């Protein structure tokens, strides 16, 4: 069992993003929130805008993004968020987004995610969940590295938040068959692998970029009913129902789910400390890879924070994207 002294904050599983941001002024902070046209992304963007941040909604559907931007402006009385096209499964839009960014970047919140009910592939032949949830965000972050570095100088530090999930406990990274070219396809295992990758990204990004003033942390927002569930198969829905019945998680509101993301983005406890996995607004404890998720619903498996695996995944991802 993990015996380290874990980083703690004053917040809990019932805290909301608004509560985390109370008395915080983010005027002048430039933030990107991916997948901010629905669910957690909307609430994260709204909460940040409400305290002065200049938020860019990086979305696949810009029409939906415009609706969200208008609603955020009206509800907060703040600056209207920008809306920019970003399809994480399309390398062209990721490159275009990063190259078009001008000036410093202080917060990069890699919130977007996709769940599939069956095997889908990108034009490159990559498994869609891994390609979108990990590779797309990886390409975005590396493309914005310079902007984050400028942001770190501008405000004494920049942060990346990588949204993971309890699902990471189902699978580590299968480097021998990342894209399910030989093994039978299980959408839950594919999703789990992508969420483990999200956590490992935070580990290696911090190792590489902390000297630039950039830290990255992974977060588990908890069980929230969002648009992700629309593609669930009956088997996936049954698995989720069983997990809820076993007490692995209880559903949160989107306001509560966004709280852990916002903690990683603004809490002073994580200003200079990265490579962590947060759950319920606290740093999670590490459990063995063979641990039962039902016994450790708020833990993080070793494979999701292993430095050697994180280093290898970074190298593989760089090679795949030819960065």
- What is the set of active-site residues? 191
At a CB cut-off of 8 Å and minimum separation 6, what does 142 contact?
A: 318, 321, 323
Return d(Cα 50, Cα 306) in angstroms, integer. Answer: 36
Number of helices and strands in the chain (H, E):
11, 12
Q: Are 35 and 59 a contacting pair, CB within 8 Å?
A: yes
Pairing of strands 286-287, 300-301: parallel
Sign of the four-CA dihedral 174, 177, 182, 187: positive
Pairing of strands 277-279, 282-283: antiparallel
> H-helix or E-strand containing 49?
helix 39-50
Task: Please give the C-alpha separations between residue 147 and each of 51, 54, 154, in angstroms, as whole numbers.
Answer: 22, 15, 10
Q: Are 323 and 139 a contacting pair, CB within 8 Å?
A: yes
Question: How many degrees, rounded to 5, is the angle at CA 49 between CA 279 and CA 163?
Answer: 25
**What are the strands, taking DSSP E only, across the chain?**
30-34, 54-59, 82-85, 107-110, 158-163, 214-220, 223-224, 251-252, 277-279, 282-283, 286-287, 300-301
Return d(Cα 14, Cα 157) in angstroms, integer. Answer: 28
């Amino acid at each position: 069992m993990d015996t380290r002294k874990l980083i703690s904050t004053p917040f809990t599983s019932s805290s909301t993003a608004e509560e985390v941001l109370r008395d915080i002024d983010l005027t002048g902070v430039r933030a990107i929130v991916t997948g901010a046209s629905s669910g957690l992304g909307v609430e994260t963007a709204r909460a940040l805008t409400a305290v002065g941040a200049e938020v860019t909604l990086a979305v696949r559907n810009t029409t939906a993004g415009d609706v969200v931007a208008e609603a955020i402006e009206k509800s907060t009385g703040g600056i209207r968020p920008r809306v920019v096209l970003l399809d994480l499964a399309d390398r062209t839009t990721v490159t275009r987004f990063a190259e078009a960014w001008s000036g410093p970047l202080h917060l990069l919140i890699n919130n977007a995610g996709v769940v599939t009910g069956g095997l889908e592939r990108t034009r490159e032949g990559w498994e869609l969940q891994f390609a979108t949830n990990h590779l797309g965000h990886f390409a975005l972050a590396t493309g914005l590295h310079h902007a984050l570095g400028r942001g770190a100088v501008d405000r004494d530090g920049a942060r990346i938040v990588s949204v993971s999930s309890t699902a990471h406990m189902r699978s580590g990274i299968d480097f021998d068959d990342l894209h399910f070219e030989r093994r039978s396809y299980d959408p839950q295992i594919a999703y789990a692998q992508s969420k483990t990758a999200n956590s490992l990204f935070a580990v290696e990004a911090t190792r590489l970029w902390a000297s630039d003033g950039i830290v990255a942390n992974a977060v588990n927002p908890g069980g929230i009913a969002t648009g992700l569930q629309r593609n669930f198969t009956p088997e996936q829905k049954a698995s989720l129902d069983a997990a809820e019945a076993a007490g692995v998680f209880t559903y949160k509101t989107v306001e509560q789910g966004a709280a852990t993301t916002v903690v990683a983005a603004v809490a002073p406890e994580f200003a200079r400390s990265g490579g962590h996995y947060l759950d319920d607004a606290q740093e999670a404890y590490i459990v063995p890879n063979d641990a039962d998720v039902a016994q450790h619903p708020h833990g993080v498996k070793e494979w999701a924070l292993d430095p050697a695996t994180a280093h290898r995944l970074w190298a593989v991802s760089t090679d795949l994207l030819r960065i």
